[in-house]
Amino acid sequence: PADAVVNQVILKIVQRCNLDCTYCYVYNRGDDSWKSRPPVISERVLLRLAERINEHCRRHQLSSFTIELHGGEPLLIGKRKMQALLTLLRSRIDAAHVRFTMQTNGLLLDSAWIDLLAQHQVSFGISLDGPPALADRYRIQRKDRSGSTQQLLDIIAQLRSEGPLFDQLFGGCLCVVNPDIDGGELVDWFVAQGFDAFDFLLPDGNRLNPPQGWTGVAPYRRFLLSAFERWHALGARAPRIRKFELMMSGLLGGKVFLDALGGDLRLLCVLESDGSIGVSDVTRICGGEYANDVLNIFDHALDEHVRRYRIDEVQQVCGTCRACPHLASCGGGYLPHRFNGIHFANPSIYCEALYALSARMTQLLHDHLPAGMLADMATPALPASRLASGAMR
């Protein structure tokens, strides 16, 4: 929409992490900017952020605003500084409703952290890639190169045993897809661990800078289709899997806001610990102007990056995607996954996987809904040449 405005800041409160995940877009995909930034965000940056949010909300008449605490690993800030940060922002921001969320690897969580987060109404998600035998190959502890998954599972079990507060704040898991495991088996594993909400993230990469271990899109296609079939088969017992729910909603006419499914990047900005403002920080894997710090919270408005980086123009999908019957479902995929070294006007590197998944969803909807409802949702076969060229307009 023409009136789309920033309503969320991804706030990098720390730059370091206690994990060294091999696929991480911050530490292992060519972005070294974290090395030159302050390890922890300063009060000066936070005060200016509060002023900018107030200005922005007044200008656009926003009654609510979301701040997502991110890193690095945000819990490395420590409880005392986190308490001060949350108190400062809540007391200085005038918006009628300020919502705090956080993404964490969970390894530092304990009952005191849960109490602190509950005090400030901070919901959180946890990054968890599956069983230790699978995930520990990639999610490695920085201090001794050991795996981290069983430690995390033990922490979650302990916190759940102490009462309902953990699950009241916990929004679900984010799992980076690893095609070495069957997607359906991984769905069953999460369910067996007691997780009723999670999402699958496709590893970051593009044609210029492919994902780690890339052998083509076919393994990801198999993973997503297997995971979806298992999810569908579970029926009323199925967990909430965001990607599947949103893609189905898109096919039924719903608006999909998730950036990984082509959501409007004008709605968010990233604020680094030194006050630098940017687009979704995953775009740094694309290099060029997207890897440079041009704007900052002291000299520029909260939405200046929208104009500076021409986001409205840049995020437009290519002609191939505009003509595709599944655009409403996948949105063209995540913007950084469309880059070819020159521009973003290409299908996602994961196009074939997303297309196949949406086609299967469409088939199920045709099978279960009245015939007249989905008359326009014909699903042509995937052309063999669909991904043959880098730029398809």
DSSP 45-112: HHHHHHHHHHHHHHHHT-SEEEEEEESS-GGGG-HHHHHHHHHHHHHH---SEEEEEEEE--TT--HH
Q: Does position 281 have pLDDT exceeding 80, yes or no?
A: no
Q: What is the pLDDT of residues 117-143, one digit of tens each?
A: 999 999 999 999 999 999 999 999 998
Q: What is the mean pLDDT of residues 230-245?
A: 97
Q: Does position 384 have pLDDT exceeding 50, yes or no?
A: no
- State the pLDDT at residue 170: 98
**Amino acid in the structure at residue 198:** F
Q: Does position 383 have pLDDT exceeding 50, yes or no?
A: no
- State the pLDDT at residue 378: 44
Mean confidence (pLDDT) of the chain: 90
358 three-state secondary structure: helix
Q: Which domains does the chain have, with CATH numbers?
A: 8-314 (3.20.20.70)
Q: What is the pLDDT of residues 309-341, one digit of tens each?
A: 889 999 999 999 999 999 999 999 999 999 998
Separation CA 57–CA 61 (nearest Å): 5
- State the pLDDT at residue 210: 92
Q: Residue 68 pairs with which residues in a beta bridge?
A: 10, 101
C-alpha pair distances (Å), 55 with each of 27, 62, 95, 97, 253: 33, 10, 10, 15, 34
